[in-house]
Structure 1
Amino acid sequence: MNRVAKVVKGGKRFGFAALVVIGDQKGRVGFGHGKAREVPEAIRKATESAKRNLTRVALREGRTLHHDIAGRHGAGRVYLRAAPAGTGIIAGGPMRAVFETLGIQDVVAKSVGSSNPYNMVRATFDALKHLDSPRSVAARRNIKVSTLQARRVGGDVEAVAE
């Protein structure tokens, strides 16, 4: 929630801007921005905008990211790293809200540059948009998903292929 003021002849006119992040905690998340003269109206507009902008993110084991990734928006940059089970959400401010509503339980995130919440959320969504699932990577490389996952854990590729 952000209060803004417009100075007019009779004094100040206040307006409100709301940034809302919504999700189902199962891999769908969206954000919206709404502005109005009253707080509830700004929140309603932001929530409607967030519902229109829901995106699906593939999660590994339903709790973390498939791979490390970076995103940017304006001067804001975010770095997201997959984390082992039990790590928790290590992220600041607006990024934490995105991960909680998305359903991520283990992630390490760092923001660099802009600390503006809107830029941080947009940069986080930029990173999540470029996240690839093992299925899409395997299809792009023309290999099996099992081969790709064997390489990830350092297994013997020839042993898996046989």
Structure 2
Amino acid sequence: MAKRQRKNDKKEKETNWQERVIQIRRVSKVVKGGKKLSFRAIVVVGNEGGQVGVGVGKASDVIGAVRKGVADGKKQLIDISLTKASSITHISTGASGGAKVIMRPAAPGTGVIAGGAVRTVLELAGVKNILAKQLGSNNPLNNARAAINALESVRSFTDVAAERGLPVEHLYT
């Protein structure tokens, strides 16, 4: 009985994950007999509850590439601490390759003001109110990774208070 309950819990945990494909690109490799075609899929995986990951998969068919991208995204998951207004606690920047992303917390009702891959990452992370800007490269993979990098550097007040060994009330004074 307990085993069956664990399996049901596991299925429930897996079903709340959402996947969105950012880009599918046909790539080729020159080999002895000519060109070998394959597909690269960039996938964002999130549960809209503070966990998100970006994965890349390559395979000879699109479905296989997406499946590998989802598996890679679940390996790359990060946890994000959100405020009561479903925003981040402070301004954050992230970079990956030539892409740079700046994120600012926003008031309730603002919505997700971001573009491209950054918007997808933020929506699947569960962020509802935020301002974000992509700078530099417009490469979707680097922008998604820069967004993940920016979200990783966000720390909550309780985390900072625990690091400093202080109660949370002392941070405000």
Q: Shared topology, TM-score over 0.5?
A: yes
Distance in 2 of aligned mates of 1:11 and 1:142: 63
- Contact 1:26–1:62 under 8 Å retained in 2: no
Q: Tell me whether 53-62 or 103-112 shows the greater mean CA deviation.
A: 53-62
Distance in 2 of aligned mates of 1:114 and 1:51: 25
Q: Per-residue deviation at 1:78?
A: 0.4
1:32 corresponds to which residue?
55
Taking the TM superposition and a 5 Å limit, the aligned residue runs for 1:11-50 are: 12-50=35-73
Q: Per-residue deviation at 1:136?
A: 1.3
Distance in 2 of aligned mates of 1:22 and 1:8: 33
1:134 corresponds to which residue?
157
Partner secondary structure for residue 100 of structure 1: helix
1:68 corresponds to which residue?
91
Match of 1:112 among 125, 135, 140: 135
Partner secondary structure for residue 159 of structure 2: helix
Q: Which sections of structure 2, spanning at least 5 residues, go unmatched? A: 1-23
Distance in 2 of aligned mates of 1:32 and 1:62: 28
Partner secondary structure for residue 128 of structure 1: helix
Amino acid at match of 1:38: D
1:98 corresponds to which residue?
121
Distance in 1 of aligned mates of 2:76 and 2:34: 37
Q: Which sections of structure 1, spanning at least 5 residues, go unmatched? A: 152-156, 158-162
Amino acid at match of 1:117: P
Q: Per-residue deviation at 1:46?
A: 0.3
The count of aligned residue pairs is 150
TM-score by length of structure 1 reads 0.85
1:55 corresponds to which residue?
78
Q: Per-residue deviation at 1:133?
A: 1.1
Give the alignment's Cα RMSD to 1 decimal.
1.7
Q: Per-residue deviation at 1:55?
A: 1.3
1:31-70 deviations in Å (ceiling 9; x for gaps): 1100011000000000011111111111111611011100
- Contact 1:62–1:103 under 8 Å retained in 2: no
Q: Per-residue deviation at 1:93?
A: 0.3
Q: Tell me whether 82-91 or 1-10 shows the greater mean CA deviation.
A: 1-10
Q: Tell me whether 138-147 or 105-114 shows the greater mean CA deviation.
A: 138-147
Q: Per-residue deviation at 1:141?
A: 3.1
Distance in 1 of aligned mates of 2:38 and 2:32: 16
